[in-house]
Amino acid sequence: MDWLWHALALAGAMGWEILWALILGFVLSAIVQAVVRRQAVTALLGDDSPRALAAATGLGMASSSCSYAAVALARSLFRKGATFTAAMTFEIASTNLVLELGILLALLLGWQFTLAEFVGGPIMIVLIAVLYRILLRRRLVADALRQSGKGLAGSMEGHAAMDMSMAGGGSFLRRLTSPRGLTSVSHIFVMEWAAIWRDIVVGLLITGALAAWVPMEFWKGFFLTEDPLLSVLWGPVVGPLVAVVSFVCSIGNVPLAAVLWNGGISFGGVVAFIFADLIILPILNIYRKYYGPRMAAFIAGTFFLAMAAAGYLVELIFWALGLTPRERAARVVEAHVAWNYTTWLNICFLVLAAAMVVRFVRTGGVPMLRMMGGRPGDAGEHPRA
């Protein structure tokens, strides 16, 4: 059983290595979500103007990083009057332009990948807007709207329907440190973890298995590393395809991206792989239920084109600026836990997480966990302190 133990030990060691960063990312995300009122932005998404798409991007960045919740909320926005382009823009921003993703990319892969996330995300949004302006037909949108009106359940419907932001006036700091603000942050923090822990665990297990069992020579051959030009051309195409069949979405695919980068995939290929969390097979099936098979195929095709093109453009931009990393030294850690700064950071942030959980429980948050699956349109009442 040494082969199995080695994979599990690698997964556990990497999980320990990134734990503090995950907690920090979710705390910062919870603070942002607690401040931004969803209703204040939804009214701006009724057209495809640059202003509307900017609002959709901002709402996505301040929303849940769970891909399933993002997809469910995008359907809700579409049903409430947002244009289909604005709803898809929200989806992209919600999973690819969030704080916790950037922190994790910086920790495991380096700051260049975090910068590439925030450069490539807007590029992909612009490409989707252009593609939809040219290719999306009114009849297809009308058919998708009728299908979405049937209310077929996808995943994380209840979580997507919950608006846990804090109401009221006053300065940002005063609102945040008030009992109501602390309650809102704790509820969002715990609910985000409850929504996404499975993706994180699956991503770590897949990463541990690939790091332990797949020889580096295989990855080098698969990513055509012997020919630099072919490798650059191949990476943004194969990156999303690997993501589609990996079943790992949201920030759970960052550890796997580290393995692929060390294995030889191009810089643009990593970017395209990270962006492809919205076209993994389970989510494609949800698109089919939400919008019908024709629109699901349209989303898959246009998203793939935009992801690959964004990967190529990021590769070109970073090469021209001399920012492409020259060494493949992503942190795929060895199977051990050492008493170092990571351990101290984990202890400190675990104490913070425990305080969040205690407040969540004491302020009536537990019943919300039972509502996370929910149904489309569930209000998801948020208990106030």
Please indicate, yes or no, if residue 385 is contained in any of the structural domains.
Answer: no
End-to-end Cα separation, the chain, in angstroms: 50
Structure tokens at 76: 């809700």
Please indicate, yes or no, if residue 384 is contained in any of the structural domains.
Answer: no
Amino acid present at 95: T
Percent of the chain with pLDDT over 90: 37
pTM over 0.75? The answer is yes
Please indicate, yes or no, if residue 171 is contained in any of the structural domains.
Answer: no
C-alpha 354/C-alpha 187 separation (Å) is 12
For residue 234, give its domain range: 2-164+179-370
Please indicate, yes or no, if residue 269 is contained in any of the structural domains.
Answer: yes
Please indicate, yes or no, if residue 257 is contained in any of the structural domains.
Answer: yes
pLDDT tens per residue, range 342-385: 889 999 999 999 999 999 999 888 887 777 665 555 444 444 44
Indicate the helix (H) or strand (E) that contains 110. none
Q: Which residues, 6+ apart, have CB-to-CB distance to 86 below 8 Å?
A: 45, 46, 47, 48, 52, 53, 55, 56, 77
Tokens 């244009």 map to which residue? 83
C-alpha 70/C-alpha 67 separation (Å) is 5
- What's the mean pLDDT when you consider all of the chain? 84
Please indicate, yes or no, if residue 173 is contained in any of the structural domains.
Answer: no
Structure tokens at 257: 């991206």
Q: How many domains does the chain have?
A: 1
pLDDT tens per residue, range 278-322: 998 888 998 999 999 999 999 999 999 999 999 999 999 999 999
Residue 305's CB: how many other CB atoms inside 10 A? 16
pLDDT tens per residue, range 220-271: 899 999 899 999 999 999 999 998 887 677 777 888 888 899 889 999 999 9
Name which of 148-152, 167-171, 350-354 the model is least confident about: 167-171
User: Is 27:103 a contact under the CB 8 Å cutoff?
Assistant: no
Indicate the helix (H) or strand (E) that contains 360. helix 341-362
Please indicate, yes or no, if residue 26 is contained in any of the structural domains.
Answer: yes
**3-state SS record for 112-130:** HHHHHHHHHHHHHHHHHHH
C-alpha 94/C-alpha 156 separation (Å) is 14
Q: How far is CA 185 from CA 164, 204, 236, in A?
A: 8, 26, 37
Please indicate, yes or no, if residue 223 is contained in any of the structural domains.
Answer: yes
Nearest residue to 114 via CA among 208, 21, 232: 21
Is residue 336 over pLDDT 50?
Answer: yes
Amino acid present at 308: A
